[in-house]
Structure 1
Amino acid sequence: MSFICGMGHAVGQRRAHSGAYMPLARAALTALIMAATLLSGPQAHAAERVSISRDQVNLRSGPGTNHPAEWVLSKGYPLQVVQRRGSWLKVRDFEGDQGWVYRSLTNKTPHHVVKAERANLRKGPGTQHARITTLNQGEVLRTRQKTARWVKVETTDGLSGWVARSLLWGW
């Protein structure tokens, strides 16, 4: 990303109309203000995440029950909010698919979904720990604890263990 000085000339360059030099400190301050403005936009904020709060919820093609249901999502399914329109949320899943869900059918309970074809559920946070079971792509997991590289989760069957974070999507 490049920043362009708001004055229209390079730092230290003589301005034709005034004959004065732009001080380095002023240029640095201008660059910092511009960077802060750019970084305070929506791209700098953490993406809002929600999870499905009911057993089955329709993901619709548009914001309203008059729009057809494209998919049915199960309880806990994690989603990223990309837009709001009234009581409706436009959301994205781990595969990048988008649709609309009624806001009251979601909550802030953290969940992950297995994005890899298969993932090992382990007794501890590391490959040296024994495998409890193998999870399949699309399986929804309740998030219990997170480290930099591992997530402690609970399956819908009540099994608890650790999965490599790189194999999951969610929060």
Structure 2
Amino acid sequence: MSNPVLHFLIIIFVFFLQTSLAEAFCVKSTRANLRSQPKSNSKIQWVVGKYMPLVRVSKKGNWFKVADLDGERHWIYSSLLTKKYPCAAIKLERVNVRNGPGTSFPYSDYRIALKYESFRRVGQKGSWYQLANDLGTVGWVHKSALWLPIQKIRVKY
């Protein structure tokens, strides 16, 4: 005889076990190859720039299997990633970058950011994030235009 409550608890446990493995990272090198397999000679699927956020979903040796902002899976060598600072990527096709946290502010020197451009998060005011690119150019973008993977916290009892 099956116990529906027990089945439900097992499903919930497996779900939380799987989600606890997800961790947010930022690319720390100027360029990083995202590969199809955890080998340096495997096919390069995508080359990303500094500050690209990625979510680790599994690990094999020194390689991390990661998900990008589209949910696609790739492999990256772990030494190319860091958790020392937060990062963000543009998830819309084209976004206005402002001098301050709001649409009433003029465009920043950066002016327009395109989908997949990545930045270091350096500040926040309400739902606006202050971002810096790898050259140090700073501007503000609304949260709705950004992919901001969250850092999962593991709690041990």
Shorter-chain TM-score range? 0.7 to 0.9
Contact 1:60/1:101, CA 8 A, preserved across alignment: yes
Q: Kindly state the Cα deviation for residue 42 of structure 1 after the two structures are TM-superposed.
A: 2.6
131-140 or 79-88, which moves further after superposition?
Answer: 131-140
4+ residue stretches of structure 1 with deviation over 3 A?
Answer: 3-6, 33-40
| Alignment correspondent of 1:160 | 138
Contact 2:50/2:134, CA 8 A, preserved across alignment: no
| Alignment correspondent of 1:81 | 56
The verdict on how the C-alpha distance between 1:147 and 1:38 changes in structure 2, with shifts beyond 3 A counting, is farther
- Provide, for residues 43-76 of structure 1, a one-character-per-residue CA deviation record: whole Å limited to 9, x for no partner: 3x48411111212221111111232222222222
Amino acid across the alignment from 1:110 = P
> How far apart, CA to CA, are the structure 2 residues paired with 1:83 and 1:46?
7
User: Which residue, 97, 109, 121 being the options, matches 2:72?
Assistant: 97
The verdict on how the C-alpha distance between 1:39 and 1:161 changes in structure 2, with shifts beyond 3 A counting, is same
Root-mean-square deviation over aligned CA pairs: 2.7
Q: Kindly state the Cα deviation for residue 168 of structure 1 after the two structures are TM-superposed.
A: 1.0
| Alignment correspondent of 1:135 | 113
Identical-pair percentage: 31
| Alignment correspondent of 1:52 | 27
Amino acid across the alignment from 1:80 = V
> How far apart, CA to CA, are the structure 2 residues paired with 1:38 and 1:88?
24
Give 5+ residue unaligned stretches, structure 2.
150-157
> How far apart, CA to CA, are the structure 2 residues paired with 1:49 and 1:105?
13
Amino acid across the alignment from 1:96 = G
Alignment of 1:1-171 (within 5 A): 4-6=4-6, 37=13, 40-43=16-19, 45=20, 47-108=22-83, 109-132=85-108, 133-171=111-149
Q: Kindly state the Cα deviation for residue 123 of structure 1 after the two structures are TM-superposed.
A: 2.1
Structure exhibiting the larger radius of gyration computed from Cα positions: 1
The count of residues paired between Structure 1 and Structure 2 equals 144
| Alignment correspondent of 2:155 | none
After TM superposition, the score normalised by the length of structure 1 is: 0.71
Give 5+ residue unaligned stretches, structure 1.
9-30
Question: Higher relative contact order at CA 8 Å, sep ≥6: structure 1 or structure 2?
Answer: 2
After TM superposition, the score normalised by the length of structure 2 is: 0.77
The answer to which structure has the higher strand fraction is: 2
